Amino acid sequence: MSGIVVALIFGLIAFGLGGIPFGLIIASVMAHEDIRKLGSGNIGTTNVARNAGKAAGILTLLCDAGKGIVSVMLVRWFLGAQGFTPLISGNDHAEAELIISFVYACCVLGHIFSPWLHFHGGKGIAVGFGGGLAVNPLAALVALAVFITLAVPTKYVSLGSIGAAVAIPLFCLLFGMDPVATIPVFVVAAAVIWAHRENINRLNAGSESKFSFGEKKKDN
């Protein structure tokens, strides 16, 4: 099977998995609420935690991260079964690395533009981190550190999210990922930043909401 066919098949699977609106489902089951009608209307972890409770937020985080991990690990498994041995770092097996990062991008884009919600969705942070762990663990962990460094002191989740989105493709490059294979990761970063465009406007205006688990505030 050619690399293009593999990328298309697993990309479509990842897009569908990425689009599963776990935040919407979990808030509906645990809080009997339509999360799209609360706070920011976003289906992601932050809005769910604020408006459906801490437990619902944590479960949403885990499920969204999980679908990123599963999507990438599925194509890794298939490539391995076909004789590919894609590396986490280094330039060997560049085609396999590109396929993996393409599938990763499809999953995150599926979350942001969910095919199950008329191409509306979340902002891509949890799924991006989960998938990133399966693409390049070191880069994903550095991105997490950037998120914590920016979000915890300021309590601006959006600021940490944007910083993490910028960090992950840069550190994929730094840690030896094939440069061509990082292109889909840069696409992910751009999509995540685009999804946070309203947050960026509020940060610039000084009106962005701060976040604290356990409190039910208006979402960022």
pTM of structure: 0.91
pLDDT by residue, tens only, the chain of 220 residues: 678 899 999 999 999 999 999 999 999 999 999 999 999 899 999 999 999 999 999 999 999 999 999 999 999 999 888 766 555 444 447 888 999 999 999 999 999 999 999 999 999 999 999 999 999 999 999 999 999 999 999 999 999 999 999 999 999 999 999 999 999 999 999 999 999 999 999 999 999 988 874 444 444 3
Break the chain into its structural domains and give their ranges.
Answer: 3-205
What is the reported pLDDT for 84?
63
Q: In whole angstroms, what is the distance from residue 110 CA to residue 20 CA?
A: 8
Give CA separation, 220 vs 65, 66, 175, in Å. Answer: 20, 23, 32
The answer to whether 115 touches 19, Cβ cutoff 8 Å, is: yes
